[in-house]
Amino acid sequence: MSLKSLDPRITREGLPEEPDNTPVENIHHWTTFEVFHQTKKGDRHIHVGSVHAPNHEMAYILAKEQFARRADCVSLWIVKTSDVYQTNYRDEDMYENNQEKMYREAGGYKVMERINKYRKEHSK
């Protein structure tokens, strides 16, 4: 008996009813590439996802249709995932913002009072 499906294309194939569960060998896996797209000239490239491919050229033709077929796009960057230098989530605490460092942010400066005083003096 072969597999019967609502999809006539599947039924036509005459596939066995039980799927083939043989694991895919490692050699059959392609590597991944990260894709960055740019919506208009001069804008920064933004990471939009990744594709499987054996090399940059193949990654490019696949990425073009995955990530640039609907949205505006003028350019793509394709980067091998293994070439991206990544930090470790173990180091997360390094990025935490110390509340006591508010003095280093622009909002920390009490300048409005001086500005208003200056405006008042010079408005007449």
Binding site for another protein (CB under 8 A): 7-10, 30, 51-55, 57-58, 60-66, 69
Instruction: Please give the Cα distance from 74 to 44 (Å, whole number).
Output: 11
First to last CA, the chain: 96
C-beta separation of 59 from 53 below 8 A: yes
* Residue among 9 and 122 whose Cβ is closer to another protein: 9
CA 54, chain centre distance (Å): 20
Give min distance, CB of 103 to another protein, in A.
50
Give min distance, CB of 41 to another protein, in A.
17
* Residue among 55 and 82 whose Cβ is closer to another protein: 55
If one counts every other C-beta atom within 10 angstroms of the C-beta of residue 63, the result is 24
* Residue among 66 and 75 whose Cβ is closer to another protein: 66
